[in-house]
Amino acid sequence: MSSATTGHGVSDALAAFIVAPHAGTWFERACDDACERYLRGSTAAARPGPLAASIAAALASFAGPAYVRALALGAAFAADPSLADGAATLAVALVAGEHDAGLDEGDAIAAIAVGREAERRVVAAVLDDAFARVWDVAAIGARFGAVAAAARLTALDAAQARTALGIAATQAAGTALARGTQAGALAGGKAAADALEAVALARHGFTAPAAPLEGRRGFAAVQATRFDPSAILAQLGTRWGA
């Protein structure tokens, strides 16, 4: 089989995309969209609502403040129809800003754009009726967007970004039955919080599979019935948000 059909190198390519410098008209357009989301998210983060408050209270003495905040914000955004698309990616970027006063807003916005692009492409590679029948597509996609944004904001190198991707991929979760419920929102929040953890582990030398997306027992093989590598690889970094 050729690499185009086996998808060999897809995880490497996505990791390289996550950490690469980006420029050009397509990227700028993606950043305009990301900026608009960032501003709406900032407003929403100031009054995240009762679900976020319950989550924050439940976990407060059990995990770090950024982890808890990302979970609460990610869940609140996932439950808000105007922010649900890309909720976890947005939560990661906002929490990074809250916990690092020196974070450049342009970097946060670029991370949202990169996260959304990674999420969109991974979902496009596996989505069909069979996938949507059993999985909460938004919660699963959120894992990839959130970890991409977190890896970029933490300035991981490509190898570390692939490790973080591997840690995130194995946690892709959320059943179709939970879609639109509290549990579905929580799955979005978990995607954001666990992305911060995955990036921290990758930074400190954790090891993960080389092909978490395309491997024989990886994300696509285990959780999907189809896998189209070109949905991830084609014009990656040159064409955005098609």
- Binding-site size for other proteins (CB under 8 A) equals 59
Q: Give the distance between the most distant pair of CA atoms in the chain.
A: 52
Q: What is the DSSP string of 102-152?
A: T--HHHHHHHHHHHHHHHHHHHHHH-SHHHHHHB-HHHHHHHHHHHHHHHH
227 binds other proteins (CB under 8 A): no
Stretch that binds other proteins, among 37-45, 56-64, 80-88, 89-97 (CB under 8 A): 56-64
Angle 26-157-159 (CA atoms, 0-180°, nearest 5)?
A: 105
Stretch that binds other proteins, among 21-29, 51-59, 108-116, 117-125 (CB under 8 A): 51-59
7 binds other proteins (CB under 8 A): no
173 binds other proteins (CB under 8 A): yes
State the burial class of residue 46 (Cβ atoms within 10 Å of its Cβ: 0-12, 13-18, 19+).
Answer: exposed
96 binds other proteins (CB under 8 A): no
Stretch that binds other proteins, among 19-27, 107-115, 192-200, 233-241 (CB under 8 A): 192-200
| Cα-to-chain-centroid distance, residue 124 | 14
For other proteins, the binding residue among 67, 77, 144, 240 (CB under 8 A) is 67
Of 132, 133, 45, 134, nearest in space to 87 by CA? 45
What CA–CA distance (Å, rounded) separates 234 from 166? Answer: 21
Q: Closer to other proteins at the Cβ: 115 or 174?
A: 174
230 binds other proteins (CB under 8 A): no
Stretch that binds other proteins, among 25-33, 111-119, 194-202, 234-242 (CB under 8 A): 194-202
**Other CB atoms within 10 A of residue 80 CB:** 17
DSSP character at residue 225:
S
Answer whether 211's CB lies under 8 Å from 218's CB.
yes
201 binds other proteins (CB under 8 A): yes
228 binds other proteins (CB under 8 A): no
103 binds other proteins (CB under 8 A): no
Checking phi first, is residue 9 left (phi over 0); if not, alpha (psi -120 to 50) or beta?
A: left
Q: Closer to other proteins at the Cβ: 141 or 174?
A: 174
Stretch that binds other proteins, among 106-114, 120-128, 144-152, 200-208 (CB under 8 A): 200-208
Please report, as ranges, the residues that interact with other proteins according to CB under 8 A. 54-55, 57-59, 61-67, 133-136, 139, 166-167, 169-179, 181-184, 186-187, 190, 194, 196-197, 200-201, 203-209, 211-212, 215-219, 221-223
